[in-house]
Amino acid sequence: MSTTVSPLAPKSVPELKPVPGVTFTTVAAGIRYKGRTDVLAMAFEPGTTVAGVTTRSLCPSAPVEWCRELLKKGKAGALVVNSGNANAFTGMKGREATSLTADLAAQAFGCKPTEVFLASTGVIGEPLDANKFEAALTEAAGQLVDWPWLDAARAIMTTDTFPKLATATVLLGDVPVTINGIAKGAGMIAPDMATMLSFVFTDAPIAADVLQKLLSKGVKTTFNAVTIDGDTSTSDTLLLFATGTAKERGAKTVKNIDDPALKAFKRALTELLADLAEQVARDGEGARKLVRITVTGAVSNKSARRIAMSIANSPLVKTAVAGEDANWGRVVMAVGKAGEPADRDLLSISFGDIRVAHEGARDPDYDETAVSDYMKNDVIDLTVDLGLGRGTDRVLTCDLTKEYVAINGDYRS
């Protein structure tokens, strides 16, 4: 496991103010390890609405199935996040554990079990003993605070090398509201898989169905446009909670996605999701370079996304970036294998502002020295123009280094 902070970490950690209606604490339940906090518990003001998106995996964890069911009602009273055990691939026992955890949290925080959201990361295939939550959640209920958020962000880290936080203050109509978000990235808990979790909170009063529309739209260009290694976790969960406490300061409840009062909020939420998603890419396992891949001129935006993902998930493109090699031949390869419309003789490829290939051949003006210098940067912009249509997309990834292999393969060496 890496103990040094990613060289791509943001230079400073933002300061997050309280979100009225949200309190939290961290406690030790002894799920897997002794003597460390392993549970983040959060309690929400009655009336809090919630939206969420979860992994597309067809073999999801028990907490993911639990959240999917609860999201149908859109009401939240509490959130319990544990590390040390993912409660994935645990069969009927896994379902029993989620149900028991929700009962215990409901008792501790005074809400309904069907309003308790759950997320777990850690070892998979091991039954999770939810009885361990009883004392821990009772303790948690007695020590809830609304600050500092850095503690909450740190509590959900596993092998992340830095805590991931983002915040925005924005007008909802004419009332200022806060949006706070935290995330954990693609880290490992031996011997398990990468998991992405993110939780976003606001005091804005927004109906659950509107919140879901906002979130579903927001993830398309942010979290769903990030790939570290193309491996989709069984546990990926992103939840957005709205306590509605800004009503006390005059905010009107938003019940329609087209409400003009939402305009600034929409933009701020998408920016915040993009910020957190970029932090996840910056902390990809073994990452030394952040790679922003932009595809233009595709036959559709969907086609552009598939081509961008084909490039972003190509081991040969990612190792070339790690080697500071502007290997556009591998980019051509990744375009060609994507299975989407592409005409070799119309392709243009640029690294930063330097066009290396144009109309299906090496750009005659391409300066090898300039592009070599460019590849030494921490952030690499790779642009591919297909010259076919108006479809465009952007995805984020990182390079593939020996450290990635070490982190994921060195258990027994």
Tokens for 236? 């990926």
At residue 358, the 3 state secondary structure works out as strand
Window 213 to 252, contacts with a second copy (CB under 8 A): 229-234
Residue 374 in contact with a second copy, rule: CB under 8 A? no
Give, in order, the Cα–Cα distances in Å from 278 to each of 4, 155, 290.
Answer: 19, 20, 9
Q: Are 353 and 259 in contact (CB under 8 A)?
A: no
Burial of 263-272, coded b for 16+ CB within 10 Å and e otherwise, reads eebbebbbbb
Residue 270 assigned ligand-binding role: no
At residue 79, the 3 state secondary structure works out as strand
Q: Which range, of 23-31, 67-75, 83-91, 208-216, touches a second copy by CB under 8 A?
A: 83-91
Least distance in Å: CB of 75 to a second copy? 27
CA 62 to chain CA centroid, nearest Å: 19
Q: Which of 21, 52, 60, 185 binds a second copy (CB under 8 A)?
A: 60
Q: Which of 12, 35, 258, 411 binds a second copy (CB under 8 A)?
A: 411
Residue 302 in contact with a second copy, rule: CB under 8 A? no
Residue 310 assigned ligand-binding role: no
Tokens for 95? 């379902």
Binding flags for a second copy, 245-274, as an x/- string (CB under 8 A):
------------------------------
Residue 326: partners with Cβ closer than 8 Å, 6 or more residues away: 320, 351, 354, 356, 371, 372, 374, 375
Q: Residues touching a second copy: how many (CB under 8 A)?
A: 73
Residue 413 assigned ligand-binding role: yes
CA 81, CA 98: separation in Å to the nearest integer?
A: 11
Residue 382 in contact with a second copy, rule: CB under 8 A? no
Least distance in Å: CB of 279 to a second copy? 21
Nearer to a second copy, 20 or 286 (CB): 286
Window 350 to 369, contacts with a second copy (CB under 8 A): 357, 359-362
Residue type, 87: N
Q: Which of 152, 338, 371, 396 binds a second copy (CB under 8 A)?
A: 338
Residue 291 in contact with a second copy, rule: CB under 8 A? no
Q: Which of 183, 342, 354, 382 binds a second copy (CB under 8 A)?
A: 342
Residues annotated as catalytic are: 195
Residues facing residue 181 across a β-bridge? 166, 200
Residue 158 assigned ligand-binding role: yes
Residue 27 in contact with a second copy, rule: CB under 8 A? no
Q: Are 153 and 182 in contact (CB under 8 A)?
A: yes
Residue 335 in contact with a second copy, rule: CB under 8 A? yes
The H-assigned helical ranges of 31-163 are 62-71, 91-109, 133-141, 149-155
Reported in sequence order, the residue ranges of 98-233 that DSSP labels E, i.e. its strands, are: 116-120, 164-172, 175-187, 195-202
Least distance in Å: CB of 240 to a second copy? 24
Residue 327 assigned ligand-binding role: no
Nearer to a second copy, 283 or 340 (CB): 340
Q: Which range, of 4-12, 15-23, 34-42, 52-60, touches a second copy by CB under 8 A?
A: 52-60
Q: Which of 336, 352, 387, 389 binds a second copy (CB under 8 A)?
A: 336
Tokens for 338? 């994507």
Window 110 to 139, contacts with a second copy (CB under 8 A): 123-126
Window 186 to 215, contacts with a second copy (CB under 8 A): 191-194
Residue 18 in contact with a second copy, rule: CB under 8 A? no
- Cα atoms in the Cβ-side hemisphere of radius 13 Å centred on 342: 25
Give, in order, the Cα–Cα distances in Å from 38 to each of 31, 84, 156, 200, 210.
Answer: 7, 7, 8, 20, 33
Q: Which range, of 2-10, 197-205, 294-302, 337-345, touches a second copy by CB under 8 A?
A: 337-345
Nearer to a second copy, 14 or 91 (CB): 91
Residue 285 assigned ligand-binding role: yes
Give, in order, the Cα–Cα distances in Å from 252 to each of 74, 171, 244, 256, 264.
Answer: 19, 12, 9, 12, 15
Nearer to a second copy, 316 or 379 (CB): 316
Binding-site annotation, residues for substrate: 158, 184, 195, 285, 408, 413
Binding-site annotation, residues: 158, 184, 195, 285, 408, 413
